[in-house]
C-alpha cells in the first residue's frame, strides 16, 4: 500500500525532462499541509528510537517538512541559510554545496549559536539526488561536533547516488518515497518491501 506522499506523487507528480520530478502542487511551491503533517508523523514514527533534540534542514523547501517533524519531537528546527547573509554573522559553520540540478555552487551556513556538541540532530530534506546538500549538512554537523542521528528524506531519487552514499557511510537513512525511475512521463516507485 502506498503511503500519503507516494500517493500524492503518483496522482499529481509531473515528470520533467532530465529526470526532474515536479511536485510544486503539494511540496515545493504550494504546500499540502495535511500531507506534510502526515510526513512529519511518518518521520517521527521511524526516528523516535533516537533522542533527537534538533531537526536540521536547508532552506527553502525543507523547512515546512522539518517543522512538522520537529513538532512531533517537540524540538526546534534549524535551517541552513544559503549564500553569505550578513545577518547570519561571521560566527558560522559553512560548507559549499554543488547543485547538480541547478548547475551552481552555493554556500550553506548555520550560526554557531544554534548547533553545538550537545545536539543530537535529525537532518530532513525534500529531495535526495546526488547527496550534495546532505554532504554539506554532514560537514556542518562535523564542524559543530553535534551528532547526526539520522537523515529523513521525502523523495529519494533512487537512480542517483545520494542514497547509496549515505547508507554506505552507516547513516540511518529513511526516505518516504523512493523513485526507481522516470520514463516516458511515468513515475516508477521502488516497492517498499524491496527497500
Ligand atoms: P543533491 O543535493 O541531492 O545532490 O541534489 P541536487 O544538487 O541535484 O539538487 C539541487 C536542488 O534541486 C535541491 O533544491 C533539490 O531539492 C532539487 N531537486 C533535485 N532533484 C529534484 C527533482 O527531481 N525535482 C525537484 N522538484 N527538485 C529537485 P534546492 O537547491 O535546495 O532548492 P530549494 O530547497 O530552495 O527548492
Query: What is d(CA 137, CA 195) in angstroms, rounded to the nearest whole number?
Result: 24
Cis, bond preceding 120 (omega within 30 deg of 0): no
DSSP structure class, residue 28: I
**Best probe residue, ligand 1, of 58, 67, 99 (max atoms within 8 Å of C-beta):** 99
- The pTM of this model reads 0.95
Predicted pLDDT of residue 88: 61
Atom of ligand 1 nearest to the CA of 98: 7
Question: Given CA atoms 134, 70, 140, 31 in this order, what sign does their dihedral have?
Answer: positive
* Cα 75 to middle of ligand 1, angstroms: 25
Q: Residues 128-176: pLDDT tens digits?
A: 999 999 999 999 999 999 999 999 999 999 999 999 999 999 999 999 9
Q: Considering the chain, what percentage of its residues have pLDDT values greater than 70?
A: 95
Predicted pLDDT of residue 85: 60
Contact 59, 81 (CB under 8 A): yes
Three-state SS at 22: strand
Atom of ligand 1 nearest to the CA of 134: 2
Predicted pLDDT of residue 90: 74
Cα separation values, 93 from 79, 82, 146, 159, Å: 12, 12, 12, 31
Give 113's pLDDT tier (boundaries 50, 70, 90): very high
* Cα 15 to middle of ligand 1, angstroms: 14
Neighbours of 68 (CB within 10 A): 22
Amino acid at each position: 500500500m502506498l503511503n500519503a506522499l507516494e500517493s500524492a506523487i503518483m496522482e499529481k507528480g509531473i515528470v520533467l525532462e532530465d529526470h526532474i520530478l515536479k511536485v510544486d502542487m503539494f511540496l515545493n511551491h504550494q504546500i499540502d499541509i495535511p500531507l506534510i503533517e502526515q510526513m512529519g508523523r511518518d518521520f517521527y514514527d521511524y526516528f523516535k528510537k533516537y533522542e533527537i533534540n534538533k531537526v536540521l534542514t536547508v532552506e527553502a523547501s525543507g523547512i515546512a517538512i522539518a517543522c512538522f517533524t520537529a513538532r512531533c519531537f517537540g524540538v526546534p528546527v534549524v535551517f541552513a541559510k544559503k549564500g553569505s547573509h550578513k545577518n547570519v554573522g561571521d560566527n558560522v559553520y559553512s560548507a559549499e554545496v554543488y547543485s547538480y540540478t541547478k548547475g551552481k555552487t552555493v554556500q550553506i551556513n548555520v550560526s554557531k549559536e544554534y548547533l553545538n556538541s550537545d545536539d543530537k540532530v535529525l537532518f530532513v530534506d525534500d529531495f535526495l539526488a546526488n547527496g550534495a546538500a546532505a554532504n554539506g549538512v554532514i560537514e556542518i554537523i562535523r564542524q559543530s561536533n553535534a551528532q547526526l542521528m539520522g537523515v529523513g528524506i521525502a523523495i529519494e531519487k533512487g537512480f542517483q547516488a545520494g542514497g547509496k552514499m549515505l547508507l554506505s557511510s552507516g547513516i540511518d537513512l529513511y526516505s518516504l518515497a523512493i523513485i526507481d525511475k522516470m520514463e516516458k512521463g511515468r513515475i516508477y516507485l521502488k516497492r517498499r518491501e524491496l527497500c
